[in-house]
Amino acid sequence: MLVHDFPLDDQAEDDITWKHANDGIYSAATAYKALFLGLTLSPMDRMVWKAWAPPKVKFFAWLALQDRIWTADRLEKRGWVNCGLCPLCNREQETGPHLFFKCRYTLRLWRSIIEKLGLPHVNIPDWHLDESVKEWWVKRTDDRNPNWHAMSSLVMLTSWTIWNERNARVF
Ligand SMILES: [Zn+2]
């Protein structure tokens, strides 16, 4: 910053300079343009905050994406008693990836949704390649997907439904 030779005058009022306009003067139009400067979406924005879902579902999605919901594998690490098996299929160890995109039960639910909504680009056989909930979720909702906005809502709402069904069986 060039502040040399800048006369400080105790008598003068401070000026506020609006840096988003060339003439330094605030206007609604320049404020509107400034809004878009920050408009590159982070993955979390795209997957959760900019998509439609009720707030409690968004909060759940935000936790699930950070692997912070209490699936059996996490309970075990904390030494909490649990049977370890996925309550939906009773066959495999319950982990986030298993519950949300690998369980037979989950895949059956997704197949029926995809068929009902007519979403042929959603390719379930690829899902086993994904190793974390986040990886799977990002791939389903990034902007290579047609209607990523709607897909983000669908992934959140479907995962929420699965999580509730899982809890209904556990508790
Ligand atoms: Zn299962």
Cα 104 to Cα 115: distance, rounded to the nearest angstrom: 16
Judged against a pLDDT cut of 80, whether residue 8 lies above it is answered with no
Task: Tell me the per-residue pLDDT of 39-98, one tens digit each, with 9 for 90 and over.
Answer: 567 888 888 998 999 999 999 999 999 888 888 888 888 887 667 899 999 999 999 999
Cα 110 to Cα 124: distance, rounded to the nearest angstrom: 8
Q: How many angstroms does the Cα of residue 170 sit away from the middle of ligand 1?
A: 13
The reported pLDDT for the residue numbered 89 is: 96
Q: How many angstroms does the Cα of residue 57 sit away from the middle of ligand 1?
A: 21
Q: How many angstroms does the Cα of residue 42 sit away from the middle of ligand 1?
A: 31
Q: How many angstroms does the Cα of residue 83 sit away from the middle of ligand 1?
A: 13
Cα 37 to Cα 90: distance, rounded to the nearest angstrom: 49
The reported pLDDT for the residue numbered 41 is: 72
The number of beta carbons lying within 10 Å of the beta carbon of residue 18 is 14
Q: How many angstroms does the Cα of residue 145 sit away from the middle of ligand 1?
A: 27
Q: How many angstroms does the Cα of residue 100 sit away from the middle of ligand 1?
A: 9
Judged against a pLDDT cut of 60, whether residue 1 lies above it is answered with no
Locate the domains of the chain by residue range.
Answer: 43-170
Cα 130 to Cα 142: distance, rounded to the nearest angstrom: 15
Task: Tell me the per-residue pLDDT of 101-136, one tens digit each, with 9 for 90 and over.
Answer: 999 999 999 999 999 999 988 899 999 999 999 999
The reported pLDDT for the residue numbered 6 is: 53
DSSP letter for each residue of 7-41: ---TTSPPPP--TTSTTS---HHHHHHHHHHT-PP
Judged against a pLDDT cut of 60, whether residue 38 lies above it is answered with no
